[in-house]
Copies of this chain bind each other. A is one copy, B any other.
Amino acid sequence: MSEITTLQPSLLWKWFDQICAIPHPSHYEDTLANFIVNWAKEKHFFVERDEVGNVLIRKPATKGMENHTPVVLQAHLDMVPQANEGNPHDFTKDPIQPYIDGEWVKARGTTLGSDNGIGLASTLAVLESNDLAHPPLEVLLTMTEETGMDGAKGLRHNWLQSEILINTDTEEIGEIYIGCAGGINANFEIPVQYETNTFEHSAQITLKGLRGGHSGGDIHTGRANAIKVLARVLAKLSQNQPHFALSEIRGGSIRNAIPREAAAVLAFNGDVKTIESAVENLAVVLKEELAIAEPNFTLFVESAEKAPTVFTAQSTQTVINALNVLPNGVIRNSDVVKNVVESSLSVGVLKTEGNVVKSTILVRSLIESGKYYVTEMLSSLAILANAKVEFSAPYPGWQPVNDSTILDVTRKHYAEVLGEQPVVKVIHAGLECGLLKEHYPNIEMISVGPTIRNAHSPDEKVEIATVQTYWDLLTRVLADIPAK
């Protein structure tokens, strides 16, 4: 037991502490799932896992609420495993170590898993508590949300009996989500041919210090994408400089984050100073252009070890030009929902792997046709660049519904616990709700949660006070679900 078990509401924090103790990165959720199933059995709740591993637990209504609309509370079982550089943490074996840091709970050197562990803990706390009023209750815990939403995708049909679903995966207190973007992955592969490196010099151009951020939620902020800025630098160099050849290009680390770093290794003849001063000049221009959005932008060139082979001139050109024209960022804003991006894409990772330069892209849209418009642009570019693009793991958006019972009830109680009106939002990021709605089209849905910052990074933290507010909201809403 850690110090967080001293926090309020104690039942919720006790559960979260328990969750931290059982490793549960994506694809390794079974230990945690089985722990919960066994606990539910001991409590004599109805409990079942479906074909893909999702857990469903049922608890009867409290006295007098038997005829009220049944509600399912939903959270995902998995967490994103990210450790600080040099931390030997094994997410499949080692427990997360949560601790209190002022107003926040954090983990030592790793992601905390408050996304979605606080939500998960809240559903179990509701099951365990004896002093809450609620209608017929279900708790649905889904598998592998963070790497493909496998649980939501494979959810058993005709399993849920509820007419209202409360998703607990929102990361901002005071906000009620009623819609979100869908997505699809794109892998864009540019074939490259090599030749013996007969150039005199080798250098690496490195771009770093960018802010990064969520590939959906931050896509409209004007933050720079390291891969795209590097492509621009190389395109500019290739238009003005003596001939050079690439031997490697890389950037970013995960598909769903805006890349913060990128680098290219190149070989060239002539004066080293020429390329150095060209890069310096570009650094000055870009630093000024990005002064506000990217205050720590850094671009520099340094000498590199000579690679035995380099891309041919043709391959060098194709890679640079395809990456420079590769669409990225906001494609269209929504006309329906003000100030929300409708369609976007984020080039997340770039790697040189043998005979291909491969970029890993996440396409998002509030509407299906917007998502496929972006994929068609990528297909057109692939044809022009003799590249190959493959699409995978599509998931639907969650179409907003502005009037529903659960929205009315949640709005009312949120205003009371917050002391101000909540913000009802559609977000340009993925939640499981779109997929859940495909299986259960008539269910009413909202998503709420406490304030979490830096999710998916070792800086993840959850704001303690907002966990209490979230809990107050959740328990009030459950007690006020109207009769059918």
Q: Contacts A289-B367, A336-B292, A369-B285: A380 and B325 contacting too (C-beta < 8 A)?
A: yes
User: For A318, what are the chain B residues with a Cβ–Cβ distance below 8 Å?
Assistant: 384
Could you tell me if A324 and B235 are in contact, using CB atoms closer than 8 angstroms? no
Chain B residues with CB below 8 A from A288, complex form? 369
Q: Select one of B239, B376, B383 contacting A236, CB under 8 A.
A: B376
Which residues in B have their C-beta under 8 angstroms from that of A235?
A: 376-377, 379-380
The A330-358 residues at the B interface (CB cut-off 8 A) are 330, 332-333, 335-336
Tell which of A286, A335, A336, A383 has the most Cβ of chain B within 10 Å. A383
A372 → B minimal CB distance (Å): 8
Contact B321 A381 (CB under 8 A): yes
Min CB–CB distance A369 → chain B (angstroms)? 5
For A386, give the chain B residue with the smallest CB separation. B384
* Distance between Cα atoms of A380 and B327 in the complex (Å): 12
A373 (CB) vs chain B CBs: closest residue: B232
Contacts of A332 in B (CB 8 A): 222
Q: Whose C-beta in chain B lies nearest to the C-beta of A294? A: B335
Interface residue SS majority, chain A:
helix
Q: With contacts A235-B376, A236-B376 known, is A222 near B335, CB below 8 A? A: yes
Q: In the bound complex, do residue B289 and residue A324 qualify as a contact, i.e. CB atoms below 8 Å apart?
A: no
Interface residues of A (CB under 8 A from B): 222, 232, 235-236, 239, 285-286, 288-289, 291-293, 317-318, 320-322, 324-325, 327, 330, 332-333, 335-336, 367, 369-370, 373, 376-377, 379-381, 383-385
Q: Which residues of B contact A317 (CB under 8 A)?
A: 383
Cβ–Cβ < 8 Å partners of A286 in chain B: 369
CA distance A135 to B60 in the complex (A): 86
Inside 8 A of A322's CB, which chain B residues have their CB? 380, 384
**Across the interface, which residues of B come within 8 angstroms of A289, CB to CB?**
367, 369-370
Q: How many copies does the complex hold?
A: 2
* Bound complex: CA A373 to CA B324 (Å): 10
User: What are 25 sample pairs from A and B whose C-beta atoms fall under 8 A apart?
Assistant: A222-B335, A232-B373, A232-B376, A235-B376, A236-B376, A239-B376, A239-B379, A285-B369, A289-B367, A289-B369, A292-B336, A293-B335, A318-B384, A320-B380, A321-B380, A322-B380, A322-B384, A324-B376, A324-B377, A325-B325, A325-B327, A325-B377, A325-B380, A325-B381, A381-B384
Contacts of A377 in B (CB 8 A): 235, 324-325
| A325: chain B residues within 8 A (beta carbon) | 325, 327, 377, 380-381, 384
Q: Specify which chain B residues have a CB less than 8 angstroms from the CB of A384 in the assembled complex.
A: 318, 321-322, 325, 381, 384-385
Please give me the residue from chain B that is nearest to A289 by CB atom.
B369
Closest chain B residue, CB of each to CB of A223? B335
Q: Which 9 A-B pairs have the closest CB atoms?
A: A292-B335, A321-B380, A324-B380, A384-B384, A325-B380, A325-B381, A285-B369, A321-B383, A293-B335
In the complex formed, the residue of B with least CB distance to A379 is B239
Given contacts A293-B335, A322-B380, A384-B384, 9 further A-B contacts (CB under 8 A): A222-B335, A239-B376, A239-B379, A288-B369, A291-B335, A318-B384, A321-B380, A324-B377, A330-B330
- List residues of chain B with CB within 8 A of the CB of A379: 235, 239
Report the separation of the CA atoms of residues A370 and B292 in the bound assembly, to the nearest whole angstrom: 15
Min Cβ gap A112→B in Å is 31
CA of A291 to CA of B324, assembled, Å: 32
A380 to B373, CA, bound (A): 21
> In the complex, which residues of chain B have a beta carbon less than 8 angstroms from the beta carbon of A330?
330
A232 cross-chain contacts in B, Cβ below 8 A: 373, 376
Shortest Cβ distance from residue A102 to the other chain B in the assembled complex, whole angstroms: 31
Q: In the complex, A164 Cα to B403 Cα: how many Å?
A: 56
| A327 x B324 contact (CB < 8 A) | no
Smallest beta-carbon distance A397→chain B, Å: 13
Query: With a CB–CB cut-off of 8 A, which chain B residues contact A369?
Result: 285-286, 288-289
Q: Which residues of B contact A222 (CB under 8 A)?
A: 332-333, 335
Closest residue of chain B to A384 (Cβ to Cβ) is: B384
Q: Which residues of B contact A376 (CB under 8 A)?
A: 232, 235-236, 239, 324
